[in-house]
Structure formats: C-alpha cells, structure tokens
Amino acid sequence: MAVPGQGFEPATGDGPAAAPGGRQAELRTAYEGLLQIRRLVNGPAGAAVPAPWEVRQLPRAVALALEAAGIAASAVDEEGRRTRTGYRVAAGAEAGRVEVTWVGPAGGGAAGEEQERLTACAAVLEGLGWVCLLYRGPRRRRFLEVEPPGGPGGPGGP
C-alpha cells in the first residue's frame, strides 16, 4: 500500500494481505517506473541489470519484481501470525543481499512447495539481472539469496 510521501510499497510478505485487485494500477506504474529508471541510468545495459536505486533499496526492489511477476506474497495478521502462503523478502545476513523464503501458516504446506516456488522466484529475478543462489538453511528449509551482479554493492562488487 502507498504510504503518503513514500510512494508505492511492494508486498514483502510481512504485512497484511492486500485487497484483491486494489493494487494493480499502482503496482504496474511502480514496476514500469523501475524499468524506465533502469533504461535511463544503466547506459547500454538498459533494463537488463539493476539500477543503483535498486541496489540501495534491495528488499524493496526484489519485492516489487516478485509482486509484479504475479507471485503471491505471504501475509500476517495483527498478531504477526502467517495467514497466507507466499514469498517473504527480508534483509540478508550480509549487507547488500536479501533472502527470499517461501512461508505460510503452520501446517499449510509451504515447506513442500518451497523448492518449486523459490526456483520460480529465482527465474523472475535472474531475468531482471539479479544473482540468485538457492540454499538449505536451519531445519533444512530452503531460501534464496539475492544480490546484484558483481556481489554486494552492485556492478563490480563492493
């Protein structure tokens, strides 16, 4: 949902479920704006690689790409309990990286879907120039680590 003065906020998977259809126009405008920024600032690479803005706001940029691709975000209620299965984007263990997990309500089957769903998330993000690695973490749950090309800090590395 848009926050006054801050623009469109993509779904990270840690907020309430969005009203069906209520965000589509804003989402489309935000995503088209992201691609336009890429074309304007990236020179010959154009829209094929993340722009500096995306690297600075990595969780937001990754969440925008996933939501724009039509992948469902997880959601939580007022008490922080998961109410919907989907992606969750959060800052990674190291600066310049984010982690994408596939989570849902207890007993909802998210663990059984995670490899397939995270592979789909990686395909979307890699198509936009992000580097994605699928790992198995604590309790054998998979997660996707996402970083800009060249490592943390963007093109060329740190």
Which tens digits make up the pLDDT trace of 3-37? Answer: 334 578 999 999 998 776 678 899 999 999 999 99
Domain of 29, in residue numbers: 24-147
Structure tokens at 108: 């909802």
Decide if 46 is inside a domain: yes
Decide if 96 is inside a domain: yes
Q: Give the integer Cα–Cα distance in Å for 41 and 85.
A: 36
Asked if pLDDT for residue 157 goes beyond 80, the answer is: no
Q: How many C-beta neighbours within 10 Å does residue 14 have?
A: 17
Decide if 52 is inside a domain: yes
Which tens digits make up the pLDDT trace of 70-92? Answer: 999 999 999 999 999 999 999 99
* Angstrom distances, CA of residue 66 to CA of 23, 83, 90, 127, 138: 14, 19, 13, 11, 24
pLDDT score, position 155? 54
Q: How many domains does the chain have?
A: 1
Decide if 155 is inside a domain: no
